[in-house]
Each structure stands twice: as C-alpha cells, then as structure tokens.
C-alpha cells in the first residue's frame, strides 16, 4: 500500500515591497502601485489620481531613486533580508514539521516577489492550508489589510480553496519584546548607553487613527513594554512617528520635530530604534539613520545612532517561526480530528 500523501501547506512571509531597481522608472512603477492603493491613500479616487499623476509621479521618483541608490547593494536591502528570513524560517519549520508537505515563500504586497505570483502557484498546486504571516509587528489598515484585500480578490475565482490562516500581528508578543530589548542591550554593550532612546515608528494620518485604525495604539504598547523591560525612566525614552506625506495631520509626536527640539535643548546622545520594521529598508537606512541624524545634529544635538532592525537576528527568527509553528500545531490537531 502506498503511503498517505502529506497535507500540502504553504506559509507566506509577506512584507510591503520595494522597487525592482534603484532607478527612477522602477521607483515610478513601484510608487504608482503603492500609492494607488486606497488603503494607503484615502482621498477620493479622482482627486488623488490627478495629484498622483500631475504632482507626485513626475517628480518624486528621481529623488527617491537617488535615496535608494545610497542604500542599494546587489539588491534592495529589504528584499535581501526578507529572502534570508524566509530561508532561515523555512529550514526551521521543515526540520520540525515532517507531517506536512511544507512550502515557505516570501511575498510583497507591491513589487517582487509578488503576492499574486504566490497565488498563481497555489492554483497550480492546490494546498490543504495556507498561513499568511505579514511581517508588520503592529497591524494597520495601511500595511496589513492590503494583504487581506489581495486574498479577498483571489478567493472568488477559486473552486478548490485551502484553509486560510492570517496572523494579524504580534506587537506585544513576549518573544518580540524580548528580541527588541536584546537588540538594544547588545548595541549598547558595544556603543554605550545614550541620554535618550527614541522608538520611532512609521506614521499614519491622524484621521485614519480617528476612524479606528489601531496601529498607533499598538505602537505605543510596543514602546511601553520595551521601555519597561529596559527599566527606563520617563525622561530616558520617547516614542515618535516618522515619514509624513502630504499636508494633513499625522499621528504625533513627529520624529523630525522631536529630534530638532532635543538638539536645540542640547541632548548629548540619542539612539533610535524602529520596532515597526522587521527588515531594514530605505526608511530606516536613509531617513532614520541619515536624514534624522542631520536634523538632530544641525539643531545642536550630540551623538546620534540608529539601532538596526531585527532582520535575521536569531531571536527574531525564533519569534517568527514560533508564530507559524503555533498555527501548524493547531492545524495538526484539526486534521487529526476531522
């Protein structure tokens, strides 16, 4: 008798995305896709279409491409890191889950490797179950929800659907908090402790938060738990939000404004951590590490350093693998009792 086939399971590790190249045309393609998403920009479509095509896409790609070129090696930093994360997590999961025919793949909401290319593979080889892990520690309708939307567009056209599990986020998971704490302590062991630790998160427009997006509150909880674990006093740390776009109000305090105030106040040293990012990217390597350093020091501040994202740190891989493993364990139980 032939052995019973193992259930096929695909794990998708998904991040936001990145251009194919550090060139203006490639950046333009990426920005057009990204900024056309109504989850990201909640302006009436026609009005935003005019703004995007008349004022953003003709001018912004060249400047952004130059910024990408400053951090680009053989590929986009984010894509390189996500591919490595996938490789490490895949090996961990394959070693521990012989009961499944397991596939672990990377995906991007915008750009390559595309989430829609993953869907094409799922159609070619039907799966028993799909587990989606968005690599956004704090859920937002602007980052995590577009992945849900992608599934929602794919599902109606499928006849043989897999079971689907979507891991919403992990902003207060003990392993996540400990990984952040360990990264700070390891950095400070080499470089010393600063006068201020700033936890800076990617921002969202304030109206999005007012309408119910929980992202900012989740960021505040992450920062609070990290500060508590580091035993920091209130005057030793702060939270802020970066990367404002457009003229509307965004969640506050703003990172650049706070750093300028600290510089003017004569703060001697700042270290910046960005717990919203599972992989370093243009925003962390250029905006946080370079632009904001200039803002702080030009205002009179002293030493400034950016603490890298968790990237492929062992504790980070352990965390991400454990999030998936918990769902694989639940699936094992479910399949055994159906």
CATH number for domain 6-168+313-333, candidates 3.30.1490.20, 3.40.50.300, 3.40.50.1400, 3.40.630.10: 3.40.50.1400
Domain 6-168+313-333 matches domain 172-304 at the CATH topology level: yes
- What residues in the chain have per-residue pLDDT under 50? 1
Q: Residue 2: what pLDDT?
A: 57
Backbone angles phi, psi at 57, to 5 degrees: -65, -30
CATH topology of domain 172-304: Rossmann fold (3.40.50)
Contact 86, 104 (CB under 8 A): yes
Whether 129 and 9 have beta carbons less than 8 Å apart is answered as yes
Closest CA to 239 of 228, 249, 187, 248: 228
Domain locations along the chain? 6-168+313-333, 172-304
Query: Is 283 part of any known ligand binding site?
Result: yes
CA distance 319 to 175: 6
Give exposure, 221-248, as e/b (b: 16+ Cβ within 10 Å). ebbebbbebbebeeeebbbbbbbbeeee
């Amino acid at each position: 008798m032939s052995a019973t086939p193992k259930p096929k399971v695909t794990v998708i590790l998904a991040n936001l995305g990145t251009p194919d190249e550090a060139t203006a045309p490639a950046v333009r393609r990426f920005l057009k896709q990204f900024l056309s998403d109504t989850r990201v920009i909640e302006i009436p479509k026609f009005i935003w279409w005019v703004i995007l095509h008349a004022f953003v896409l003709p001018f912004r790609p060249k400047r952004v491409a130059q910024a990408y070129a400053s951090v680009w090696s053989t590929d986009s930093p984010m894509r390189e890191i996500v591919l490595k994360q996938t490789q490490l997590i895949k090996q961990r999961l394959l070693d521990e889950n012989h009961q499944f025919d397991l596939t672990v793949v990377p995906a991007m909401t915008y750009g390559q490797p595309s989430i829609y290319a993953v869907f094409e593979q799922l159609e070619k080889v039907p799966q028993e179950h799909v587990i989606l892990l968005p690599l956004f520690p704090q859920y937002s309708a602007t980052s995590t929800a577009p992945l849900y939307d992608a599934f929602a567009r794919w599902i109606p056209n499928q006849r043989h659907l897999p079971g689907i599990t979507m891991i919403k986020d992990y902003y207060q998971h003990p392993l996540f908090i400990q990984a952040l704490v360990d990264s700070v302590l390891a950095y400070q062991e080499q470089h010393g402790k600063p006068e201020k630790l700033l936890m800076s998160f990617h921002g969202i427009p304030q109206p999005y938060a007012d309408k119910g997006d929980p992202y900012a509150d989740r960021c505040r909880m992450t920062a609070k738990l990290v500060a508590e674990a580091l035993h920091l006093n209130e005057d030793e740390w702060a939270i802020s939000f970066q990367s404002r776009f457009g003229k509307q109000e965004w969640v506050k305090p703003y990172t650049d404004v706070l750093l300028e105030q600290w510089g003017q106040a004569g703060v001697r040293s700042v270290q910046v951590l960005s717990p919203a990012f599972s992989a370093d990217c243009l925003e962390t390597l250029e905006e946080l590490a370079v632009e904001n350093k200039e803002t702080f020091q030009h205002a009179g501040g002293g030493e400034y350093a950016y603490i890298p994202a968790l990237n492929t740190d062992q504790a980070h891989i352990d965390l991400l693998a454990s999030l998936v493993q918990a769902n694989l364990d639940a699936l094992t139980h479910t399949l055994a009792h159906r």
